[in-house]
Amino acid sequence: MAFSMVLFVALAVSSLMVVSGAGNFYQDFDLTWGDHRAKIFNGGQLLSLSLDQTSGSGFKSKREYLFGRIDMQLKLVAGNSAGTVTAYYLSSQGPTHDEIDFEFLGNLSGDPYILHTNVFTQGKGGREQQFYLWFDPTRNFHTYSVIWKPQHIIFLVDNTPIRLFKNAESIGVPFPKNQPMRIYSSLWNADDWATRGGLVKTDWSKAPFTAYYRNFNAQTCAGSCTHGTSSSSALSNGGWQTQELDDYGRRRLRWVQKNFMIYNYCSDLKRFPQGVPPECKRPRFL
Number of Cβ atoms within 10 Å of the Cβ of 205: 7
- Listed in sequence order, the residues at least 6 apart from 155 whose beta carbon sits closer than 8 Å to its beta carbon are 100, 102, 117, 145, 146, 161, 162, 163, 164, 165
Active site residue 128: no
| 45, 72 contact by CB (below 8 A) | no
> 154: part of which helix (H) or strand (E)?
strand 152-157
In the beta sheet, which residues pair with residue 114?
A: 105
Q: Which one from 99, 169, 244, 279 is the annotated catalytic residue?
A: 99
Compute φ and ψ for 170, nearest 5 degrees. -65, -20
Active site residue 279: no
- Mark out the alpha helices in 15-99 (DSSP H runs): 25-28
Q: Which residues are catalytic?
A: 99, 103
